[in-house]
Amino acid sequence: MPPTGPRPLRADAQRNRDRLLDAAARAFSQAGGAEVTLDAIAKDAGVGIGTLYRHFPTREALVEATYRKELARLCDATSELLESLPPDEALRTWMDRFVDYMTTKRGMADALRAVIASGGNPFSESKARLTEAVTTLTRAGVDAGRVRPDVDAADLVASLGGVSLMAAEPTQREQAGRILDLLMDGLRYGARGTAAEPGT
């Protein structure tokens, strides 16, 4: 017997959930979308505020769900990057994209804070995907002798999260880039094929 997975949502619940996500996507992608009130989103979706909170217990949860697809796309881009670039550059480029999502879609910052801070639970889905993507990239780098082998992918994801949080203001995008360079050099330090010079 197939172990009863989490039983499917009731039809009306599913419908409301979808409406909420639609409304949220609409709201968050507008300018200043980070300030939209949850009441407004619920109203726009035509459901009660209680329903919103049941489906998404915190603002972060709603934002995370809204951006889950985009996060997935970002993760899926790894193989493509690895085909067209040397592994360390692929990793560096991927990091840049990661941060770019933050500065363009403002609501995304909340999403990632939620994803990365998820000590153990509800958002681990996206977190797992991100960690997996980073694992793929670093492993390729290690195999090519361009990245040190003793780096934990989860640590790196956390770092990216931290950098992104600081770079939330588009003003600080350049600073974020420099920090990523630094981090990248930390990743190169001690790789098999170590070069003594920093930078690309």
Q: Are 115 and 70 in contact (CB under 8 A)?
A: no
| Count of residues of this chain found to bind DNA when the rule CB under 7 A is applied | 22
Binding site for a second copy (CB under 8 A): 116-117, 119, 148, 150-152, 154-156, 158-159, 161-166, 168-169, 171-172, 175, 178-179, 182-190, 194, 196-199
Using the contact rule CB under 7 A, the part of the chain among 31-39, 67-75, 113-121, 134-142 near DNA is: 31-39
16 or 159, CB closer to a second copy? Answer: 159
Q: 170: which DSSP letter?
A: G
Alpha-helical (H) ranges within the chain are 11-29, 38-45, 49-55, 59-84, 87-104, 107-117, 124-143, 153-166, 173-188
Q: Is the dihedral of CA 80, 153, 119, 7 positive or negative?
A: positive
Q: Minimal distance in Å, beta carbon 53 to DNA?
A: 4
Crossing angle for the helix pair 173-188 and 87-104, nearest 10 degrees?
Answer: 150
Residue 10 binds DNA (CB under 7 A): yes
CB of 81 to a second copy, least distance (A): 21
Is 2 a binder of DNA (CB under 7 A)?
no
Q: Which residue has the tokens 């949860």?
A: 61
For residue 139, the partner it binds in a second copy, DNA, none, with Cβ less than 5 to 8 A by kind, is none
Kindly report the number of other CB atoms within 10 A of residue 45's CB atom: 21
Cα–Cα dist 4/193, whole Å? 50
**Could you say whether residue 118 binds DNA (CB under 7 A)?**
no
175 binds, among a second copy, DNA, none (CB under 5 to 8 A by kind): a second copy
Q: Provide, rounded to whole angstroms, the least separation between the CB of residue 145 and DNA.
A: 47
**79: partner contacted, choices a second copy, DNA, none (Cβ within 5-8 A by kind):** none
Q: Decide whether 80 or 155 has the Cβ nearer to a second copy.
A: 155
Q: Are 115 and 165 in contact (CB under 8 A)?
A: no
Q: Is the torsion defined by CA of 113, 119, 122, 123 positive or negative?
A: positive
Contact footprint for DNA (CB under 7 A):
9-13, 15-16, 37-39, 46-51, 53-55, 57-59
